[in-house]
Homo-oligomer: A and B are copies of this chain.
């Protein structure tokens, strides 16, 4: 689905026209392209008192090849970077009259040591000086601690306050700049999350608060193919977001088994063949036709996957909508949406776990929705099912921890698909513009987020719901 408005205001004629009459001009977001380097340019570093993450930060920036400049608040950064043999310098704010391009690609603030509300001035100081200096499609990342891990209520409070800052920055920054808060537990590995949030892969993820726990992390041998050799199951893979998830997982090295219903078997075959064609090393991809809601589906899926040697990743993407206000909704519309979007996931996971089809260290990712968070008119069935997916994530995270497995959900906002193309114009335009990016997301934005959660490097991330919504206004 094309966003004609976005195309228009970014055309040479349209840009001038929009400017002359004061129309908003959504940024064309920078997304991952295999022919372009994923990282590059300069990161500006700020910090509150006693920052704990300078060393791992310097390591990650070195490993992705970004250069740092230190804001005045980041005391001690320069000597530390020098000790690691990393290039670094002092932050100079972007000046409007400067000829040279002096913008930075990202702003990172280490707030881990902030232990009292009176210390929050440091984060003001950094973003006051630096927010205007960030480039288009740039990144803001705030690093804090999970608030409840601070014994002192004042430290807990100050850490929780960072959410208001990070979300406000996401709403103030323009030009496709995202802003996210990573709550890093002591001893947690930040590389996987930092790579995701600094890269173009997280283009449409903003205003999110992500918790990273200490866990035994296997860093991929090749960060460009973190899923190398992993086997993945993707339901609803024939089209739209599911097809994109299958494609991204395969591009990152996974062997993907795509599942869809009999009616979609031709589309599924085409999708999986296209993925096969694009797999350089010839991944072992497969198309599996099954109605996931059928009573026999869990056992059949388990048997088929076991015959392939089991799997490492399950993505529950299959879902349907049957919208009506509740007074007009049929019993069948309720039952089928709950069953396909929620109960089927439960039955399938139970079968995969009981028979050890999902390997230890496995990853489960469910697809929830903004409607599951905020509720929606005409979607009592859909919103209930998608709130249930969130419940699944929180209820299963503890159960799965002992086996080194994680379970998380993505909650897409307005994504440009065949489904959203059918929404009436005015409502579609409102959905597209009511977010910090002033545009809908692409299926690939959801797929990239799923792939990040499915990575071996994401072992410390479980029980979470990551919105892929361009920081939609809508929430609860």
Task: Give A residues with C-beta under 8 Å from B.
Answer: 116-118, 120-121, 123-125, 127-128, 131-132, 147-148, 150, 153-154, 156-172, 207, 325-327, 329, 331, 334-335, 338-339, 342-343, 346, 371-388, 390-392, 394-396, 399, 473-476
Q: A334 to chain B: closest CB distance in Å?
A: 4
B contact residues around A325 at 8 Å (CB): 172
Q: Are B124 and A172 in contact (CB under 8 A)?
A: no
Q: With A and B bound together, what is the CA distance between A125 and B371 in angstroms?
A: 21
Q: A148-B394, A169-B326, A329-B128 are in contact. Are A117 and B343 (CB under 8 A)?
A: yes
The CA of A391 and the CA of B123, in the complex, are separated in Å by: 17
Beta-carbon contact of B387 and A163 below 8 Å: yes
Q: How far is the CA of A124 from the CA of B476 in the complex (A)?
A: 22
Contact B127 A326 (CB under 8 A): yes
CB contact between A475 and one of B377, B386, B476 (< 8 Å): that residue: B476
A393 nearest CB across to chain B (Å): 9
Of B162, B327, B391, the residue contacting A157 (CB under 8 A) is B391
User: How many protomers of this protein does the assembly include?
Assistant: 2
In the complex, chain B residues whose CB is within 8 Å of the CB of A394: 147-148, 156, 160
Cα-based distance from A343 to B117 in the complex (angstroms): 6
Are B385's CB and A161's CB within 8 A? yes
- Chain B min CB distance to A432 (Å): 15
Is the Cβ of A331 less than 8 Å from the Cβ of B121? Answer: yes
Contacts of A123 in B (CB 8 A): 384
Contact A207 B375 (CB under 8 A): yes
Is the beta-carbon distance between A338 and B172 smaller than 8 angstroms? no
Chain B residues near A388 (CB-CB < 8 A): 117, 120, 157-158, 160-161, 164
Q: Which of A117, A150, A342, A399 is packed against the most chain B CB atoms within 10 Å?
A: A117
Q: A127-B380, A392-B157 are in contact. Are A387 and B343 (CB under 8 A)?
A: no
Q: Distance (Å) between the CB of A428 and the closest chain B CB?
A: 16
- Report Cα–Cα, A260/B396, bound state, in Å: 49
B385–A131 contact, CB under 8 A?
A: no
Shortest 7 CB-CB contacts between residues of A and residues of B: A167-B375, A475-B475, A160-B391, A164-B387, A161-B388, A156-B395, A164-B383
A104 to chain B, nearest CB (A): 14
Of chain B, the residue at the smallest CB distance from A126 is: B326
Instruction: Check if A392 sits within 8 Å of B165, measured CB to CB.
Output: no
With A127-B380, A388-B158, A392-B157 in contact, is A374–B167 under 8 Å at CB? yes
